[in-house]
Chains A and B, each alone.
Chain A
């Protein structure tokens, strides 16, 4: 399994190391640095790098490489998934103020994922149904592919050992699901009910995929007119964002980003609302739009200055879109009821819905 772990920051310093077996010299990371150099970008560093005596398996998160040193055959996903879990734990741990001073007790509870003796004065259980739309929209505005991924994130603060069931109005919508280990698979199989003893605090209860038969409503559209002319060193750039199928809700938190071709020197743009930035070094344009007002559609217009003397770029940039719609699960999924067994008190229950853009791309 994992022999050693090195943490490497953005400037290439190994700032933390941990060895579970004998000590592996940090010089083993030189192989990693070589690969990093070849890859040019952090995200293109191969997650698995063979070296003469070891294998380096790494994940890249929060601008930090977590490099695990392996000496023999092991399923690579085992290590990668584990490293991600480690990062998640770090995130939880450093994010919260209460740093545990006790020996771990969790694993010795009757239920491995829940400690015993949990007590709250206010007993509450909140569930967030969050759906993300992954889509690729082509030049003409038609949808090439669109799908909905959803998760139910829970924040459960309940005394004792509560046993919950959560049922849906329309469970058939859920096509592919993956559960937190607390969910009883058999109940789901037979009754389509989520039955579980929850972990204490925040956790992801369920991830799901909405079946492909259902057409996916696309809540926004983008009108674009981007052209680079061969004759002059100037190009035109114009995009407008508008609401499409929003079920009467407001689209907010809209953010447009686009990677411009290398030949673009600068952009002179005027937004009708929000703020925009063009980074001439990375050639990344980002426009923080905010809310979409259907009466007055937000737009960003202006000119693009191109490197003089070179021909116009072959490629057109792709536009990436982010947005949020509160109080709406775009798939139409609805929670029917939440019941608690095993404890006597009356908990406070709450369900929230939200729709977000996942990987939402418009090709131009």
Chain B
């Protein structure tokens, strides 16, 4: 698709600063016609201290975006306000960011830290919105940050935040599909979530990221079925559609036994007999093989729990249940959906359109289902044409011997409609009824013949086409009609109709021996003026007459063929040549000539008039693909039922013993109202409200709710299965559960949300039994309770603990808690003083140089630069850049200097002193200082000589934005302990052969980044420390060698962007 000019401009918007662009949209240009001038006041307003002004500016900017105007040049001015305290301003800044971050990736990175702070906010709404925006910023470099944030949010205590985490998964996946494996882990975790709020969103993520991983559903299947009714509407649709697919892979067809009878009965109507016989045989064969069918209780559970949703006010939900029943229910039960679908016909016309398409498909397979609602498909003159035509389709599908007279009477009214397209469709429909129902064939035919005298040519033409098809079924009896139609050639102009008449006369020329040659005579006369399809039929008619009545038509045929021989259309010329060879006997014509008559006048089978909706149900109903009748992008095939049912026990979930607690405890838990309308009864409007056992298991189940969570009525049924299903795993599970229970006890009246998140983590730790680190983790889990003071804090700490890989050598958590602000500051001042120049000399050999100005571009002047890694004298916040200027020209270069530095917001440049003259062949070396503000944004400036200006820019590798810090092992550990969670980035890597020695590793790391080595006791670990030049934030690097060639790199820094980029650079350096 070609991008519009507007789009192109938007892309390049940042360079063409504030250029107006209304050309494409004059209508809305009026109000904002002076946008580009006003951008300055917008900037001013954004810079002001008043929130009201900022808000006004943001409103105007967002309005511009909504109108499709380019507001990208305001990016720096807007992004500054991301940390604004005013929540309304903030929201609008978010809207802006999400829109333009992709175009201004570097600047967008400046805002990341705000979101990272937001992710830690005590307010769940702010946490969620920070994650939402962070995940909507399509900047590939922050992928690891997003991944971390999602992981963290997935175990947030607020279900709302967890829901947002689920929403973020598909966004990250679309940004970087390499993250799939990690995302699947998160999905798996969230699938086990027990809140209704999360269920729909995580299933959505599942469908987008890993729909093929049906195995992830097993353990959650029953829970999803049971939660379903309380999930929000949109989530219901997604879950139902997914479960439909799931059920098709796990259960047996409920119709395998009865299909034989019904199907063949219905098929006889449409399909040819051979097909039927074949099918029937196959079915008999397969029937014999099968055992008596018993529906899997899980299959029944799904049908039972979705049925009430047919009563939903949401058309999409009703449709989802309808398709589920259509694809999964026993035939006898599918009928229930008809009433609900008919109800949807009272909704908006777009809803009607979609529902009718699906009803059309269903009504072919299950006609009986909609028959009682026949009248609901009657057409009103006020219906849009596309709705009328779909209703007509359904009416035609529903027509049978008993209702055909009513339907035909209704059709008669339609034929007199003012809507001609609809009339044409009605005529087609009559034709279909006539072919399908033998008893009304004559009636229909007579009706259609009457229409031949209609005043509207389109009506006549359509009738001709349909009559032609009908006559083919029994031509002998209808020579009168053929004669009548022959007369029409004088008047009717519609090419398709003329062609149809000519074909009819040719085909049945024996029934109208007198008229046929006369028609040919007339057509020969008008041949040159006819449309192509008519010409082809004239040739056809001529050929047939030549074969049957050559005496009268020989000359005419020759004449027509001669005309055709020189026709402009090559198809017609070809046809004429071909036919001449075939019918006119010559010496060359050979053997085929004998068979010409057989070829042309063979008995032709009558066309089958069938619905275009036939067999469309191989697409999942309700899907886009079904509606378009082609496979849409991302469509998941609906699998065929398996022949043998897969093992049903995969869905069994072990019930920890403590769920069978006393009824008193149950009641107590009931009393504590949940934070959300989860599984809990009080708020739940429906089913689960009445089922106590469910809510209990929901509260407590350590992996996922099990059979016991089904509603009370069917509990007994499933009890048995549960007991069988609990295997050896149970013990382990139980242990974890007990632990969880112990922890829960002192927490008293906490909200449900917290409890459940804690449980989620409990289950996580117990399930990761095989991991090597699990022991340590378990120990750690035991330790914290002693130091816990308040329940809130505990759960937060808890989250941090279990969600990140433990720091290399876990610090006792008590020390973290006790670390006061004072020690914090002390640490910082300490490291500050250790910034002695002596220590900072580069610890590596070769300094990498970069080109600033190429000899060619600089017209003989070439400039290179390198990062000297020495402190810049005079300003410790600047990075020293050593610049080497060589004069390769023949002349002296004078007054070399930096001018017009254009630093981005906050960036500062300390120019080097002017070089007065540089002789040819000489090289000068100078040092300049740049404060990059801890960002990898390029510093742009001009390099001037006495004659020329060169635009140049220096972009620092992230490793140069820091200076080494020397600290002791203990200090290092202490600082690292403070920088966990979001500030910690971990990456696994494989060390190449030449990079396995201590020396090589240290060399590579220090060459990639300006860091200092920290002594370390363990010999498989390397530690480095540095702090960023501008803000002095610590950057701690740990490289731990594992067995073999693998290693784990950990970077701790509160500057997440820097951390992320640094990890990338170091990994790259080590891989070389």
Contacts and interface: CB of A to CB of B under 8 A. Distances in A.
Contacts of B350: 47, 58-60, 80, 84
B1 A184 contact: no
Interface string A208-219: 010010000000
A72 B4 contact: no
B729 to A, nearest CB: 34
B354 A52 contact: no
B551 interface: no
B232 A112 contact: yes
A361 interface: yes
Interface in A161-204: 175-186, 189, 196-197, 204
B25 A13 contact: yes
Contact of B633 (A44, A71, A104): A71
B339 A73 contact: no
Contact of A25 (B3, B28, B308): B3
Contacts of A77: 315-316, 319, 351, 354-355, 622
Contacts of B233: 181
Nearest to B619: A73
A177 B315 contact: no
A80 B354 contact: yes
B311 A43 contact: no
A18 B67 CA distance: 9
B635 A186 contact: no
A184 B688 CA distance: 10
Contact of A75 (B7, B320, B416): B320
Nearest to A20: B136
Interface residues of A, number: 91
A295 interface: no
Contacts of A318: 380-382
Given A72-B632, A73-B634, A77-B316, A320 B382 contact: yes
Interface stretch (B669-677, B893-901, B1044-1052): B669-677
B27 A186 contact: no
Nearest to B170: A1
B417 interface: yes
A108 B160 contact: yes
Given A58-B350, A314-B456, A184 B686 contact: yes
B683 interface: yes
A81 B633 contact: no
A51 B630 CA distance: 13
B625 interface: yes
A73 B636 contact: yes
A82 interface: yes
Contacts of B320: 75
Contact of B385 (A20, A44, A50): A44
B386 A46 contact: yes
B340 interface: yes
Nearest to A177: B311
Contacts of B197: 107
Interface residues of B, number: 99
Interface in A315-339: 315-316, 318, 320
B624 interface: yes
Contact of A74 (B372, B624, B682): B624
Interface in B300-352: 308, 311-316, 318-320, 339-340, 342-343, 346, 348-351
A359 B66 CA distance: 37
A311 B455 CA distance: 9
Given A16-B67, A59-B348, A178 B311 contact: yes
Contact of A76 (B102, B339, B627): B627
Contact of B634 (A47, A72, A112, A147): A72
Contact of A262 (B91, B311, B417, B418): B418
Contacts of A82: 234, 316
Nearest to A101: B88
A48 interface: yes
A78 B636 CA distance: 17
B685 A23 contact: no
Contacts of B676: 110, 112
B102 A111 contact: no
Interface in A294-312: 311
A114 to B, nearest CB: 9
A51 B348 CA distance: 24
B1052 to A, nearest CB: 33
A340 to B, nearest CB: 16
Interface string B789-830: 000000000000000000000000000000000000000000
A195 B623 CA distance: 34
Given A46-B353, A48-B628, A75-B320, A11 B27 contact: yes
Given A73-B635, A103-B87, A136-B380, A81 B351 contact: yes
Nearest to A87: B348
Given A14-B68, A261-B418, A25 B689 contact: no
A173 B628 CA distance: 39
Contact of A17 (B66, B418, B454, B636): B66
Nearest to B389: A44
Interface of B: 1-4, 6-7, 10, 25, 27-28, 66-68, 87-88, 91, 99, 102, 124-125, 129, 136, 138, 160, 171, 174, 197, 204, 229, 232-234, 237, 241, 308, 311-316, 318-320, 339-340, 342-343, 346, 348-351, 353-355, 372, 375-376, 378, 380-382, 384-386, 410, 413, 416-418, 454-456, 622-625, 627-628, 630, 632-636, 673-677, 682-687, 689-690
12 contacts: A13-B28, A21-B171, A59-B350, A70-B624, A72-B635, A75-B237, A110-B674, A110-B675, A138-B413, A144-B378, A185-B686, A316-B416
Given A59-B350, A314-B454, 15 more contacts: A25-B3, A44-B386, A47-B349, A51-B1, A53-B1, A72-B633, A77-B319, A78-B316, A80-B316, A80-B348, A82-B234, A175-B339, A318-B381, A359-B380, A361-B382
